[in-house]
Structure 1
Amino acid sequence: MKKLRSVTDLDFVCDRVDHVVALFSGGLDSTYLLKLLYDRNVAVTAVAVDLGDDPDVATLHHVAARFGARLRIVDLKQLFTREAALPAIRAQARYLNTFPISSSLSRPFIARAAVDIAESLGCSAIFHTATQSQNSLRRLNGAIEQLGFNGYYGSPYEYTSISRSDKIRALKSIGLMSFEQRIVSGDSNLWCREFESGVLDNPEGFSVPENLYAWTRVDAARQSESTGHKLSITFRAGEPVAVNDGAMEPLPLINYLNDVVGAYGIGRFAGLEHLVGGEKVLEVREAPAALALMDAYRHLETAVQDYELLREKQALEQLWVREAVEGRWYGTLRAAIDEFLLRASQDVSGKITYDLSAGALCLESIQGVCPRYLRNRDEWESRTAVTASARTLADMEPEEDILPLATRLAMGA
């Protein structure tokens, strides 16, 4: 196995290869990695993956050029929407049924972009920046392994701990001043924005600065843009296809819901996630579209699906989530569960309507196609009683011919 885990390993690899791929988000850790590679005089292709988080392209180019790296920006928004966000809706992909998973979805696609570029360029090393306190470590490494990459890969930060303050100081010394203003580590895509570390380190007492939030800042102007504070989401064969009866493709639909639902302060989460050794770390997230779409899907599938199917599906949902969380996205088990979820979704069609208010998504209407719910319970009771009574009377009718025939046969025998 050619796994890189420390700065010492970085020295070893850079002595043996002349061109590497480095995952680059523009954040503190990935920028410092470019500095480490620049200091070792190795050619670098920095790969930034656009998953709908509106990257600052000009800054990415500026920083990459500062370290002599060639920048490649890969647009995977549509692919991520189709192959991650839509399956996540079907799987009700919440970590321990609490908050929407995010990096578990994004890391496999980032890894795929890195492997594709490395193989196309003939690079025999892929570097990233995940640490032991970040579950992205096993998700990126796991995806790279499952994709069959044969070169060196991994993070020099796994076994070499370099503090945020040391990285900031080193970058500041060469003229990169912006990082000292960053008080948390962040990660974002079109499905979820999440924050950790820094001022959010201690779960026993933390306060989330309001300016960290983007989608879920309460905004009366944005609220007034929605029609009478009502929100309807229409699904066809398990896929969201319209909002407020206006047809939309999945990507713009998710972006629209992040804006409209988030304007009411809906979709904020905080909770603990476990590390490999069993330790827990705090994460804070905002995901208004994910919350609305998964909630609407659950109501609609409950309306149209058989109870036994739903019961078995719920058991498989958390197994799907576990495979994603543990870095086995490209494994057979998750793929097999995904096929089940996709098949079950074909019956999920209809419309869910909410009333939006500050911090609340209030269910107002469930309209399923071929639903199993009752619309008039009294009428159903009367109809069922009539049917049941007819069956009872039929059961009470004497079966005159059966006993004599049975008796005659017995006597004849």
Structure 2
Amino acid sequence: MKIVLAYSGGLDTSVALHWLKERYDAEIIAFCADIGQIESLDTIEERALRTGASKVYVEPLADPFLKDFALPALQAHARYENKYLMAAPLSRPLIARRMVEIAHAEGADAVAHGATGKGNDQVRFFTSTTALDSGLRVLAPVVDWPLTTRESEFAYAREHGIEVPVTRDNPYSIDTNIWGTSIECGELDDIGRPPPARAWQLTADPGSAPDRPERVTIGFEAGTPVALDGERLTLTELVRRLNSVAARHGVGRVDIVESRIVGFKSRGIYEAPAATALMAAHEELEALVLDRETLHHKQSLAPRYAELVYYGYWFSDLRRALDGFVSSLQAAVTGDITLELYKGSLTVVARQSPNSRYSGPLATYEAGDTFDHRAGAAFAYVWSLPLARP
């Protein structure tokens, strides 16, 4: 048997690699997607081979991750439960897609992941793999093995000489990529307490952030961020640079009790400095260039798009159809938005677009007002007729 394992080098996937090899007498091919994690991947291939992998793929995928997954979600303004920008959920279909491709190339019988049975990711990996190749088995060793606690996983790792980076002094489950970071478990399970300072991975404490605000101008062309403070950058370069600037000011923190796919609520904290700034800027630019009815309809679809991402339905017909609608509107989304970053907050302070629908002479109440006030009064009469009682 041959299995492709989504391998991060953390506790679960390190133990899973060895356990799968023993349990199925299988050849394990480890796959690690480099999508801008804060963790170093310099030794991950060596560690996977030492743990028992027959082959290791470590691939730089930050560019396609941003272009094919994060950017469509940005343009759709997808926030799960109006807060979470979903860096981890957006990465799962990319990882699943590449695992399926590797499985086909290597003649593998199954793919595997390190997600738990009560987590969201086990659903996302299963749905994505099924959509791409329903003939592949999807193995979830963390669900199947008898290691019911993290202590038992540590014991297994010690027994088999498996090197793992997680310690009891760092109890968090952390997932990072270029679009953001998610942190769960440990003290965070106590929803009556604020997150410990050590739990945050990317962002400065807003209270300790610089005492002077900083302004950044984000340039968009057809809905895609292309420039920062007038300098043209690739999407990946722009996100990296904006992450650094926004994180320095404590921007992008979220603490949420969310509704998991499997039915119960859990507490997680998330950091998405660049994504938060880009979302605010893109929303502001769309508000400037889209007509009222189109804008309001698009806003109504954003929660549904976010649900599809969160639920693991990236490869669904509905998500593709919503992408068609969203992308059809992006040609007009060109211009510059200036944000002010200050101690965890961001504020739009300037906006401009060649496609702006804003008219100063129509909007002003000062000299130069071109609005026909008598027509407005007549409009109010007609508009109110559905509410009039005979």
- Once the 2 structures are TM-superposed, how far is the Cα of residue 351 of structure 1 from its aligned partner? 0.9
Contact 1:216 1:262 survives alignment (8 Å): yes
After TM superposition, the structure 1 stretch with the greater mean CA deviation from structure 2, 357-366 or 247-256, is 357-366
Partner in structure 2 of residue 132 of structure 1: 117
How far apart, in 1, do the equivalents of 2:164 and 2:179 lie? 30
2:381 aligned partner: none
- Is contact 1:216–1:268 with CA below 8 Å preserved after alignment? no
Is structure 2 residue 295 aligned with structure 1 residue 307? Answer: no
Structure 1 position 192 matched with structure 2 position 183: no
* Misfit runs of 4+, over 6 Å: none
Confirm or deny: 8 A CA contact 1:125 1:151 kept in the other structure: yes
8 Å Cα contact 2:189/2:267 also seen in 1: yes
- C-alpha separation between the residues in 1 aligned to 2:367 and 2:233? 37
Q: State how many pairs are aligned.
A: 371
Do 1:115 and 1:149's aligned partners in 2 also have CA atoms closer than 8 Å? Answer: no
- The answer as to 2:11 corresponding to 1:32 is no
Deviation of 1:386 after TM superposition, in Å, equals 8.2
Please say which of residues 141-150 and 36-45 is displaced more in the overlay: 36-45
Letter in 2 for 1:30: T
User: Aligned partner of 1:42: which letter?
Assistant: A
Counterpart pick for 2:279 among 268, 291, 294: 294
Deviation per CA, 1:260-301, whole angstroms, max 9, x where unpaired? Answer: 011001111110222334210111111011110000111111
Q: 2:372 aligns to what SS in structure 1?
A: helix
Change (3 A) 1:219 1:271: closer
What letter corresponds to residue 165 of structure 1 in structure 2? E
**What's the Cα RMSD here?**
2.6
- 1:46 aligns to what SS in structure 2? strand
Any gaps of 5 or more consecutive residues in structure 2?
A: 379-390
Structure 2 counterparts to residues 74-89 of structure 1, below 5 A? 74-89=59-74
Provide Cα deviations, 1:29-58, integer angstroms capped at 9, x if missing partner: 101101202434421111111111155233
Mapped to 1, the partners of 2:293 and 2:308 lie a distance apart of 23
Share of identical aligned residues, percent?
30
Q: Counterpart of 2:332 in 1: which secondary structure?
A: coil
Q: Normalising by the residue count of structure 1, what TM-score does the alignment of the two structures yield?
A: 0.83
The C-alpha deviation readout for 1:75-104, integer Å capped at 9, x for no partner, is 211111111111111111111111211222
2:318 to 319, 333, 342: 333
Which residue does 1:141 correspond to in 2? Answer: 126
Compute the displacement of 1:379 (Å). Answer: 5.4
For residues 324 and 52 of structure 2, the distance between their equivalents in structure 1, rounded to whole angstroms, comes to 44
Kindly tell me: are residues 348 and 165 of structure 1, through their superposed partners in 2, closer, same or farther at Cα, counting changes over 3 Å? same
Q: Check if 1:46 corresponds to 2:33.
A: no
Distance in 2, matches of 1:199 and 1:173, equals 28
Amino acid at match of 2:248: A
**In structure 1, how many angstroms separate the alpha carbons of the residues matched to 2:218 and 2:199?**
29
What is the alpha-carbon distance in structure 2 between the residues aligned to residue 211 and residue 127 of structure 1? 28
Q: Distance in 2 between matches of 1:44 and 1:277?
A: 29
Q: Secondary structure at the match of 1:21?
A: strand
CA gap of 1:113–1:380, structure 2 versus 1, over 3 A, is farther
What SS does the corresponding residue of 1:383 show, helix, strand or coil? coil
- 1:66 maps to 50
Are positions 1:201 and 2:179 aligned together?
no
Q: 1:374, 1:380 within 8 Å by CA — same for their partners in 2? A: no
The separation in 1 between residues aligned to 2:220 and 2:367, in whole angstroms, is 27
- Higher mean Cα deviation, 199-208 or 346-355? 199-208
Counterpart contact for 1:219–1:264, Cα < 8 Å: no
Residues 113 and 143 of structure 1, relative CA distance in 2, 3 Å threshold: same
Alignment of 1:304-383 (within 5 A): 304-376=289-361, 377-378=364-365, 382-383=369-370
What does 1:157-236 align with in structure 2 at a 5 Å threshold?
Answer: 157-158=142-143, 160=145, 162-175=148-161, 176=163, 178-180=165-167, 181-210=169-198, 212-216=200-204, 229-236=214-221
SS in 1 for 2:166: helix
Q: Distance in 2 between matches of 1:141 and 1:289?
A: 29
Query: What CA distance in whole angstroms lies between the structure 2 residues aligned with 1:381 and 1:326?
Result: 52
Deviates more, 1:170-179 or 1:321-330: 170-179
Q: 2:371 aligns with which of 384, 397, 407?
A: 384
Deviations 1:117-165 (A, max 9, x none): 0110001111112112210111110000000241221312235562111
For structure 1, the 5+ residue unaligned runs are 1-16, 392-413
